[in-house]
Amino acid sequence: MTVTKQLPTPTYVLDTYWRFAAARQEIFFNRISGKTLLTADPILLKHKFTNAYRAADRVSQYLISEVIYKGNQSPDELLFRILLFKLFNKIETWELLQHELGDVTWANYSFKTYSQVLYQALQAGEPIYSGAYMMASGSSAYGYARKHENHLKLIEHMMHAQLADHIVNAKSLEAVYELLLSFPTIGKFLAYQYAIDINYSNLTNFSEMDFVMPGPGAKDGIRKCFSSLGDYSEADVIRYVTDRQEQEFERLGIYFKSLWGRRLQLIDCQNLFCETDKYARVAHPEVNGISKRTRIKQLYSMIDRNIDYFFPPKWGLNSRLNIVP
Across the range 55-79, mean pLDDT stands at 97
Specify the pLDDT at position 37: 86
289 confidence band (pLDDT: 50, 70, 90): confident
pTM of structure: 0.94
Judged against a pLDDT cut of 80, whether residue 320 lies above it is answered with yes
Strand-pairing partners, residue 259, are 262
Distance of alpha carbon 299 from alpha carbon 217, whole angstroms: 18
- Residues ≥6 apart with Cβ < 8 Å to 114: 97, 101, 152
Distance of alpha carbon 149 from alpha carbon 139, whole angstroms: 9
Specify the pLDDT at position 301: 67
Question: Angle at the Cα of 240 (from 236 to 244), degrees rounded to 5?
Answer: 170
Distance of alpha carbon 131 from alpha carbon 187, whole angstroms: 17
Amino acid identity for residue 136 in this structure: A
Distance of alpha carbon 323 from alpha carbon 212, whole angstroms: 30
Specify the pLDDT at position 5: 87
Give, for 147, the enclosing helix (H) or strand (E).
Answer: helix 147-160
Specify the pLDDT at position 290: 82
Count each helix (H run) and each strand (E run) in the chain, helices first.
15, 2
Strand-pairing partners, residue 9, are 228
Predicted confidence (pLDDT) per residue in 250-274, tens digit: 999 999 999 999 999 999 999 999 9
Q: What percent of the chain has pLDDT over 70?
A: 96
Report strand pairing: 9-10 vs 226-228.
antiparallel
Would you say 253 and 18 are in contact if contact means Cβ atoms under 8 Å apart?
Answer: no
- Residues ≥6 apart with Cβ < 8 Å to 54: 60, 196, 267, 268, 271
Specify the pLDDT at position 305: 62
Distance of alpha carbon 21 from alpha carbon 28, whole angstroms: 11
> Residue 152's closest CA among 181, 113, 101?
113
Give, for 83, the enclosing helix (H) or strand (E).
Answer: helix 75-88
Distance of alpha carbon 211 from alpha carbon 201, whole angstroms: 17
Judged against a pLDDT cut of 60, whether residue 304 lies above it is answered with no
Cα dist. 61→52, 86, 111, 197, 240 in Å? 14, 12, 27, 11, 27
